[in-house]
Structure 1
Amino acid sequence: MQLNAGCELSFYAQSPTPLILMLRPRSGAGQWIIREEYQITPAVNVTEFTDMYGNLCQRVVAPEGPFSIHFSATVQTADLIDTGIGAPYTPVEDLPDDVLHFTLPSRYCQSDQLGSLAAQITKNVESGYDQAEAIRKWIYESITYQYGTSDASTSAVDTAASRVGVCRDFTHLGISLCRALNIPARMVVGYLYQLDPMDLHAWFEAYVDGRWFTFDATQALPRGNRITVAYGRDAADVAFTTQFGSMTLNEMKVWVDAVQNETSESDKKVDEEATLLTTVGSTEQTAN
């Protein structure tokens, strides 16, 4: 499915403020960027780099006063996500070098403190994909999704104790429980079609059987039509905006809409004939 997705961010900077933005998705597995538009007001110098996870990042300095960012894109997305029931666990000694660090604890994912819970959830479950799926299902069934119950400092350990949170918290907990079983797991942020309420979204991927699989603990069943913007160890790596100074976010809008079906072939033919008659017989034509 083709999706039109994007966001608008409106800030007020109390003084000139450096920013790192992470808003541009890139073509890759399950998505192809057809069109994109990036507007920053007022106009400022922008430089772009690729971080260690392959994410596209933009550096700007917002001047004092109002500052806004508009990003939109049309993306071809996969209608389904791959599943792998029974896919085997990949031993740590066989992991690629660039996957190894996704087995370690990180700022919001204290996997070293959640081993007992992970073992309890996956008791008698086959090692590998089935363990990650058991974790996803347990979070979906056991953690209450509720806005306003967590903040930027909430960690996986906090969520495991409170049993409440939002997609960010669900994701941190899923990552931590997988890593506690030596299954590499990483955070993914982006857009999800028909998310309710609409917002920027987070989910996790687990590495089993030599590849990454998608898991979303906020959803009852696997869902495709996702647009990935960034990957990282946890939320510290995938912030859409990172500011280095006093700056207030006043408003944020997010949208994901299906591209309307193209005109049918018969309608196209009628339109082409009408255009041909209009142009060929037009008295407004000029000879070159």
Structure 2
Amino acid sequence: MQFLTTARLNYELMNEATILASIKCMRTPGQTVLSEILSSDRPAEMTDLVHDMAHGTYTRINIHSPGPLSLQYSAQATPTHSLIAGASLTSPHPSTLPAELLPFIYPSRYCQSDRLREVAEEIAGNELSAFAKVSRIVDWIHQHISYAPGTTSEQDSATDILEKRSGVCRDFSHLAIALVRALSIPARYLTAYAAQLEPQDFHACFEAYLGEQWCLFDPTHLAPLNGIVRIASGHDASDTALASLYGDIVGSEVQVCCTSQSPLSPITQDELRQSKTAFVLG
């Protein structure tokens, strides 16, 4: 299905500054970007920095004079997905895990999995399959963590969220990743545009490596999984910051929109839980 994504980021510069932006739709074998344009309302030097297929595209934007700045992005993208039975999905033991996946079982800045092993084991209970363990963690977070904008900051980590019992999509995903990694299952953070998310904003989910593929989960249950358009993925939000600011610059406004170009029949986290089905985003 084809989606139209747009974003507007407004700033005020007191002097020259640099922005490292990660708002472009990711290009993967399963997600085609048909067209895209990133523009500025004033002169700016823009350079795309592509790390690899696992992280996405970063754009370095250099602005050499003070004043207001508005960045506008629009794209047409067609992500694909598949549904697979969850009962059969396992996760490789660390002794056989491919080298490229090892970083995703390690603790990271916002996901201190080494401090949450006992909590993760208690939540997973007697579940035997990796898919069932991840599903139990997603369910537990949805039931025990309140979605409450304004209760956390960009400094809060998984352990902070576990204590506060509230947060936003970023926090839900960080906690889920930490708990999943504590069970030696690879997990990674995902930023995205999300159709039918209300109110419209950038969104964060996570993926767990099950059955030799990355399976998508959304502990917030706020957006249909088949309405997700990838932006970037990484160990946690420190790898996928939407905009990192350097210099005398402050943000003033963010506007985001993602719409499907044909009627979208939502595939929700609730439906997947009930049918014990895994969702794989292309």
User: Taking structure 2 as the reference length, what is the TM-score of the superposition?
Assistant: 0.87
Q: Structure 1 regions of 5+ residues with no counterpart?
A: 262-288
Q: For residue 279 of structure 2, what is the aligned residue in structure 1?
A: none
Q: For residue 45 of structure 1, what is the aligned residue in structure 2?
A: 45
- The alignment status of 1:239 with 2:241, answered yes or no, reads yes
- 1:97, distance to aligned residue in structure 2 (A): 1.1
Q: Percent identity?
A: 32
Q: 2:260 aligns with which of 258, 261, 285?
A: 258
- 1:30, distance to aligned residue in structure 2 (A): 4.0
Q: For residue 185 of structure 1, what is the aligned residue in structure 2?
A: 187
Question: Is residue 193–residue 226 contact of structure 1 (8 Å, CA) maintained in 2?
Answer: yes
1:15-65 Cα offsets, whole Å, 9 max, x none, are 111221111113325422112121122122222221254411111212321
Instruction: Supply the AA of the counterpart residue of 1:16.
Output: E
TM-aligned CA distance change 1:32 to 1:82, over 3 Å: farther
| CA distance, structure 2, for counterparts of residue 222 and residue 92 of structure 1 | 32
Q: 1:120-139 counterparts in 2 under 5 A?
A: 120-139=122-141
Question: Is residue 148–residue 168 contact of structure 2 (8 Å, CA) maintained in 1?
Answer: yes
- The alignment status of 1:22 with 2:10, answered yes or no, reads no
1:100-151 Cα offsets, whole Å, 9 max, x none, are 0011111111111111110011011123111111111111111110111100
Q: For residue 60 of structure 1, what is the aligned residue in structure 2?
A: 61
| CA distance, structure 1, for counterparts of residue 173 and residue 122 of structure 2 | 19
Structure 2 SS opposite 1:95: coil
| CA distance, structure 2, for counterparts of residue 27 and residue 83 of structure 1 | 26
| CA distance, structure 2, for counterparts of residue 91 and residue 260 of structure 1 | 42
| CA distance, structure 1, for counterparts of residue 227 and residue 162 of structure 2 | 29
Instruction: Supply the AA of the counterpart residue of 1:13.
Output: L
Structure 1 SS opposite 2:99: coil
- The alignment status of 1:103 with 2:105, answered yes or no, reads yes
Shifted more, 167-176 versus 79-88: the winner is: 79-88
| CA distance, structure 2, for counterparts of residue 111 and residue 166 of structure 1 | 19
C-alpha RMSD of matched pairs (Å): 1.8
Q: For residue 270 of structure 2, what is the aligned residue in structure 1?
A: none
Question: Is residue 82–residue 213 contact of structure 1 (8 Å, CA) maintained in 2?
Answer: no
Q: For residue 265 of structure 1, what is the aligned residue in structure 2?
A: none
| CA distance, structure 1, for counterparts of residue 71 and residue 223 of structure 2 | 34
Structure 1 SS opposite 2:58: strand
| CA distance, structure 1, for counterparts of residue 68 and residue 207 of structure 2 | 37
Q: For residue 34 of structure 2, what is the aligned residue in structure 1?
A: 34
| CA distance, structure 2, for counterparts of residue 222 and residue 240 of structure 1 | 21
TM-aligned CA distance change 1:83 to 1:196, over 3 Å: farther
TM-aligned CA distance change 1:171 to 1:223, over 3 Å: same
| CA distance, structure 2, for counterparts of residue 192 and residue 246 of structure 1 | 31
Structure 2 SS opposite 1:88: coil
| CA distance, structure 2, for counterparts of residue 235 and residue 68 of structure 1 | 23
Structure 2 SS opposite 1:100: helix
1:149-169 Cα offsets, whole Å, 9 max, x none, are 100111100111111110000
Structure 1 SS opposite 2:127: coil
Question: Is residue 192–residue 228 contact of structure 2 (8 Å, CA) maintained in 1?
Answer: yes
TM-aligned CA distance change 1:230 to 1:130, over 3 Å: same
| CA distance, structure 2, for counterparts of residue 82 and residue 89 of structure 1 | 15
User: Taking structure 1 as the reference length, what is the TM-score of the superposition?
Assistant: 0.86
Structure 2 SS opposite 1:188: strand
Shifted more, 245-254 versus 229-238: the winner is: 245-254
Question: Is residue 197–residue 223 contact of structure 2 (8 Å, CA) maintained in 1?
Answer: no
Q: State the number of aligned residues.
A: 261
1:216-274 Cα offsets, whole Å, 9 max, x none, are 1011796212100000111111011111122111111000112258xxxxxxxxxxxxx
Structure 2 SS opposite 1:14: strand
| CA distance, structure 2, for counterparts of residue 234 and residue 155 of structure 1 | 10
Question: Is residue 109–residue 234 contact of structure 1 (8 Å, CA) maintained in 2?
Answer: yes
Runs of 4+ in 1 over 4 A off after TM superposition: 79-83
- The alignment status of 1:150 with 2:155, answered yes or no, reads no
Which has the larger share of strand?
A: 2
Structure 2 SS opposite 1:245: strand
- The alignment status of 1:89 with 2:68, answered yes or no, reads no
Q: For residue 250 of structure 2, what is the aligned residue in structure 1?
A: 248
